């Protein structure tokens, strides 16, 4: 496959330079995990199988309300965003799908969607969950500015506004069908900034009613995910504020309505691995957004702040999937304010693969034995044996088997992708999105 500016042959050449030390490192890693009773080849196979979607809005630089510092060469349209994601996937072998946010990335129904799908197909990229946007006013979602989401979308007391929000979600589903997607993610900004502004109960009931109307539009083989978040942009209360509310909404909507866990959408110190276990236990875990956070919805690089927590979350996901990653809609949801967005996505994917590898290196039957023996010290030993394993050669090998790079960041830099894109797209090209 010919991927513009990331030539698979060049990737192979770069790999060749590293094989002399990769091979002995890999042999050693397989020995080490084997001594712990873990089949290293099965770990590599599961790593090679796993893929996480890249969001269309993350290939441009992010920013805060204080400023944005674009790096140049950003994709100018959705087609170029897919080009960047194909380049990312050529390096990682683990980002085989894109998750679109509409209307930021709206190809239009009919010919537009068909052309985008053909472009993505040609690059080996599929379409993961679709994201709707009723948290901003856009002409295409507000009947050309005739109404506004300032006071909410599905929770709004104004009936035409609620209807427009439902209609927009229906449109996003239709678009997704044309692209080959199988799921809709609904994240709402609805809530309150001021006590007394609205009725907690009324808002929740209206959101539930709206979700049911959207669900009625869902094809039989589709799922819908509701994504909770405690605050921002609503700073007093959010309608879908935590996993309890999210579960109520999913259960009240229908069997194929599930919850989405975003790692940055929890109040400080929340036990996220327990949230994952609970939702999986009742069959309502459907989507997953990776990032990391120090304070709130910081959208920092996966694994950069709380790597041990990420490892524990991976263990719960593996538990839910019977030793393999369960078939959820996985996506990276980060904002790249300082790094080159593609470099951050490479590092995020790498961090996910490392945490998964560490979790796969936990000897699960030893853990169960320690739990049955009421032996927390031994349980900790078993966990640490997995967590402290140097899994780098296993991850690199999984990538190599997918035809991707042993060292994706160094290879990205060696291939000069960003410089080529600055030359092609311009030093002032800025992507759409947040
Ligand atoms: C939200 C949430 C959603 C994402 C938007 C842009 O905080 O994480 O998943 O679509 O941001
Ligand atoms: Mn998210
Ligand atoms: Mn978020």
Give the pLDDT confidence of 163-202 residue by residue, as tens digits.
999 999 999 999 999 999 999 999 999 999 999 999 999 9
For tokens 């690199």, the residue is: 396
Measured from the Cβ of residue 308, the count of other Cβ atoms closer than 10 Å reads: 13
Contact 134, 366 (CB under 8 A): no
Q: Which ligand is closest to the CA of 296, given by its number?
A: 3
Q: How is 264-293 classified by DSSP, letter by letter?
A: T-S-TT--HHHHHHHHHHTT-EEEEEE-B-
Q: Which residues contact 397 (CB under 8 A, 6 or more apart)?
A: 22, 26, 44
Write out the H or E segment, with its range, that includes residue 111. Answer: helix 111-122
pLDDT grade for 1, boundaries at 50, 70 and 90: very low
For 302-391, where are the alpha helices, taking DSSP H only? 307-320, 341-360, 364-372, 376-387
- 19 Cα: distance to centroid of ligand 2 (angstroms): 37
Is 227's C-beta closer than 6 angstroms to any atom of ligand 1? yes
- 27 Cα: distance to centroid of ligand 2 (angstroms): 38
Name which residue sits closest to atom 2 of ligand 1, judged by CA: 187
Q: Which residues contact 26 (CB under 8 A, 6 or more apart)?
A: 393, 394, 396, 397
For tokens 């990032």, the residue is: 291
Q: Degrees (nearest 5) of the Cα angle 158, 162, 168?
A: 145
Mutate to test the pocket of ligand 1, among 63, 128, 262 (most ligand atoms within 8 A of CB): 262
Contact 178, 113 (CB under 8 A): yes
Which ligand 1 atom minimizes the distance to the CA of 131? 10
- 333 Cα: distance to centroid of ligand 2 (angstroms): 5
Name which residue sits closest to atom 9 of ligand 1, judged by CA: 187
Positive or negative CA dihedral for 126, 132, 135, 140?
Answer: positive
- 261 Cα: distance to centroid of ligand 2 (angstroms): 8
- 129 Cα: distance to centroid of ligand 1 (angstroms): 13
Q: Degrees (nearest 5) of the Cα angle 205, 211, 212?
A: 90
User: Range with the lowest mean pLDDT among 19-28, 60-69, 199-208, 210-219?
Assistant: 60-69
Is 262's C-beta closer than 6 angstroms to any atom of ligand 1? yes
- 229 Cα: distance to centroid of ligand 2 (angstroms): 8
Could you tell me which of 426, 434, 433 has the C-alpha nearest to residue 74?
A: 426
Is 410's C-beta closer than 6 angstroms to any atom of ligand 1? no
Is 290's C-beta closer than 6 angstroms to any atom of ligand 1? no
Query: How far, in Å, CA of 325 to CA of 310, rounded?
Result: 14
Which ligand 1 atom minimizes the distance to the CA of 232? 7
For tokens 């009421």, the residue is: 374
- 121 Cα: distance to centroid of ligand 1 (angstroms): 26
- 233 Cα: distance to centroid of ligand 2 (angstroms): 13
| Mean pLDDT in residue range 290-307 | 97
Q: What is the pLDDT of residues 44-85, one digit of tens each?
A: 999 999 999 999 999 999 888 888 999 999 999 999 999 999
Query: How far, in Å, CA of 287 to CA of 53, rounded?
Result: 11
If you count them, how many residues does the chain have?
434
Name which residue sits closest to atom 3 of ligand 1, judged by CA: 187
Is 333's C-beta closer than 6 angstroms to any atom of ligand 1? yes
Contact 222, 183 (CB under 8 A): yes
Query: How far, in Å, CA of 386 to CA of 355, rounded?
Result: 10
High-pLDDT (> 90) share of the chain, %: 94
Name which residue sits closest to atom 1 of ligand 1, judged by CA: 187
The phi, psi pair for 218, rounded to 5°, reads -75, 130
Is 288's C-beta closer than 6 angstroms to any atom of ligand 1? no
High-pLDDT (> 70) share of the chain, %: 99
- 187 Cα: distance to centroid of ligand 1 (angstroms): 6
Query: How far, in Å, CA of 90 to CA of 92, rounded?
Result: 6
Q: Is the pLDDT of residue 30 over 70?
A: yes
Q: What is the pLDDT of residues 249-285, one digit of tens each?
A: 999 999 999 999 999 999 999 999 999 999 999 999 9
Mutate to test the pocket of ligand 1, among 153, 187, 238, 290 (most ligand atoms within 8 A of CB): 187
Is 289's C-beta closer than 6 angstroms to any atom of ligand 1? yes
For residue 65, what pLDDT is reported?
86
* Cis preceding-peptide flag for 236 (omega within 30 of 0): no
Contact 182, 256 (CB under 8 A): no
Query: How far, in Å, CA of 22 to CA of 352, rounded?
Result: 20
pLDDT grade for 3, boundaries at 50, 70 and 90: low
Does the pTM exceed 0.85?
yes
Query: How far, in Å, CA of 196 to CA of 252, rounded?
Result: 26
């Amino acid at each position: 496959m010919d991927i513009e500016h990331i030539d698979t042959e060049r990737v192979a050449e770069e790999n060749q330079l590293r094989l002399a030390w990769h091979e002995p490192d890999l042999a050693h890693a397989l020995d080490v995990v084997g001594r712990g009773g873990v089949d290293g080849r099965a770990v590599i196979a599961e790593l090679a199988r796993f893929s996480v979607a890249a969001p269309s809005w993350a290939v441009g630089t992010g920013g805060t309300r204080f400023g944005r510092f674009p790096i140049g060469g950003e994709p100018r349209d959705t087609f170029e965003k897919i080009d960047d994601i194909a380049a990312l996937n050529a390096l990682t072998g683990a980002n085989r799908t894109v998750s679109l946010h509409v209307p930021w990335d709206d190809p239009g129904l009919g010919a537009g969607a068909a052309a985008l799908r053909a472009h993505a197909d040609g690059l080996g990229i599929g379409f993961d969950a679709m994201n709707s946007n009723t948290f901003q006013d856009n002409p295409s979602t507000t009947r050309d500015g005739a109404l506004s989401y300032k006071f909410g979308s599905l929770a709004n007391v104004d009936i035409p506004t609620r209807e427009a929000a439902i209609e927009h979600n229906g449109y996003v589903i239709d678009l997704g069908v044309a692209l080959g997607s199988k799921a809709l993610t609904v994240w709402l900004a609805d809530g309150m900034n001021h006590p007394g502004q609205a009725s907690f109960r009324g808002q929740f009931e209206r959101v539930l009613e709206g979700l049911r109307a959207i669900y009625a539009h869902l094809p039989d083989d589709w799922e819908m995910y509701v994504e909770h978040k405690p605050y921002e942009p609503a700073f007093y209360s959010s309608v879908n504020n935590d996993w309890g509310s999210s579960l109520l909404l999913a259960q009240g909507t229908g069997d194929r309505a599930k919850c989405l866990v975003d790692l940055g959408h929890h109040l400080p110190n929340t036990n996220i691995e327990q949230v994952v276990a609970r939702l999986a236990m009742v069959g309502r875990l459907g989507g997953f957004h990776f990032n990391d956070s120090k304070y709130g919805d910081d959208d920092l690089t996966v694994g950069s702040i709380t790597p041990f927590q990420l490892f524990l979350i991976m263990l719960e996901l593996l538990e839910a999937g019977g030793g393999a990653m369960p078939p959820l809609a996985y996506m990276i949801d980060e904002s790249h304010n300082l790094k080159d967005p593609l470099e951050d996505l490479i590092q995020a994917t790498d961090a996910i693969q490392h945490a998964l590898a560490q979790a796969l290196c936990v000897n699960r039957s030893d853990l169960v034995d320690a739990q049955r023996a009421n032996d927390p010290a031994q349980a900790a030993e078993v966990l640490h044996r997995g967590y402290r394993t140097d899994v780098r050669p296993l991850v690199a090998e999984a990538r190599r088997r997918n035809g991707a790079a042993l060292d994706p960041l160094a290879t990205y830099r060696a291939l000069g992708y960003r410089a080529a894109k600055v030359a092609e797209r311009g030093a002032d090209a800025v992507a759409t999105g947040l």
